Amino acid sequence: MSDSLDFDVPFLLGMMRLHEAHTLNTPARLADWIEARLDEGLHWFDHADIYGKGAGETRFGEALRARPALAARVRVVTKADIVLPQLDDSGHGVKHYDTSPAYLKAAIDAALSRLNVARLDHFLLHRPDPLIEVEATAAALDDAIDSGKVGAVGVSNFLPEQWRRLQDAMRHPLVAHQLELSLAHAEPLFDGRYDAVLHDGQRPLAWSPLGGGTVFEDVLGDSLTRLAEEYQVSRAGLALAWLRRIPGGPVPVIGTLRESRIRELAADGSHAIDRATWFALLEESRGQRVA
């Protein structure tokens, strides 16, 4: 495989639930699972240091250590800057964000060590930090790329004003933007955020593309069931196809670790969805008529 940083896959595999997956609780089992995904052409894995308080990245790294040939085939995204209350040693025990250079440098080194990879292919700031010192953070992110520890830098959950101030202070581009986007959360398509991501040349990555499973509930769930039957595809595949129909090609970051569901999404997620069906599903998800 090339050294590419492109998201040349139908979706990324989200690792938020890896630490609690009982069927993947040994390095050998997880290595088998990773190898099967790689053989299916799914080589991008989405991590964050807070998933399982580091346990997700640690499990993944142990699997790569158990089967070293996998390390050259996987591509990883990881995120940092959220400090969980349990990991706050200030005495306040408060959840907070930290984009200081010292914190980010330590977070990058720790992620490299837990994941057991030579490079974090994409490193994202997880949440916008109101106390960000833009010039210092920008320099720390540029340095991380120059050192070879990070392939590219991006952001998650930022507003345009927030990422543009950071971008203006950086030498390297913010390449990827991970935002919540799905039938269950379509607001970024209407408030300008999604357009700003595309305008600024960032690659959109859509987290919780099935709304964490909520797209299968209520009126929207009924509509997905009916239309999925009509089109002879799965409900989940149809919900993913709705997302992938959006111009600019948001790349979903899916959450299930079940092999059968991953294969179903790979098979049905590219179903060609027409304009009227797209709006019909949008109406059901919002519970109101298109204006």
Ligand X SMILES: NC(=O)c1ccc[n+]([C@@H]2O[C@H](COP(=O)([O-])OP(=O)(O)OC[C@H]3O[C@@H](n4cnc5c(N)ncnc54)[C@H](OP(=O)(O)O)[C@@H]3O)[C@@H](O)[C@H]2O)c1
Question: 40 vs 143, which CB is nearer to ligand X?
Answer: 40
Near ligand X by CB under 6 A, which window of 168-176, 196-204, 249-257, 270-278?
249-257
Burial of 2 (0-12, 13-18, 19+ CB in 10 A): exposed
Contact code string over 88-127 relative to ligand X, x by CB under 6 A: --------------------------------------x-
Sign of CA dihedral 161, 166, 168, 171: negative
Least distance between ligand X and beta carbon 146 (Å): 25
Of the residues 32, 195, 256, 286, which one makes contact with ligand X according to CB under 6 A? 256
Q: Does 208 bind ligand X (CB under 6 A)?
A: yes
Q: Phi/psi class of residue 139: alpha, beta or left (left: φ > 0; alpha: ψ in -120 to 50)?
A: alpha
Least distance between ligand X and beta carbon 178 (Å): 4
Burial of 28 (0-12, 13-18, 19+ CB in 10 A): exposed
Question: 150 vs 253, which CB is nearer to ligand X?
Answer: 253
* CB distance 118 to 86 below 8 Å: no
Q: How far apart are CA 250 and CA 87, in angstroms?
A: 33
Question: 12 vs 31, which CB is nearer to ligand X?
Answer: 12
Q: Does 253 bind ligand X (CB under 6 A)?
A: yes
82 pairs with which residues across the strands?
97
For residue 242, what are its two tokens? 């709705």
Burial of 158 (0-12, 13-18, 19+ CB in 10 A): buried
Q: How far apart are CA 72 and CA 119, in angstroms?
A: 10
180 pairs with which residues across the strands?
207
Q: Does 16 bind ligand X (CB under 6 A)?
A: yes
Q: How far apart are CA 76 and CA 110, in angstroms?
A: 14
Of the residues 207, 228, 273, 277, which one makes contact with ligand X according to CB under 6 A? 207
Near ligand X by CB under 6 A, which window of 12-20, 144-152, 168-176, 193-201?
12-20
- The neighbour count for residue 165, using CB atoms within 10 Å, is 15
Q: Does 183 bind ligand X (CB under 6 A)?
A: no
For residue 170, what are its two tokens? 């950086």
Q: Does 14 bind ligand X (CB under 6 A)?
A: yes
Contact code string over 39-68 relative to ligand X, x by CB under 6 A: -------x----------------------
Catalytic residue among 51, 97, 194, 231: 51
Catalytic residue flag (residue 51)? yes
CA angle 41/108/146 to nearest 5° reads: 85
Question: 17 vs 73, which CB is nearer to ligand X?
Answer: 17
How many chain residues are in contact with ligand X, going by CB under 6 A?
Answer: 24
Q: Which residues bind ligand X (CB under 6 A)?
A: 14-17, 46, 126, 156-157, 178, 207-213, 216, 236, 253-256, 258, 261
Active site residues: 51
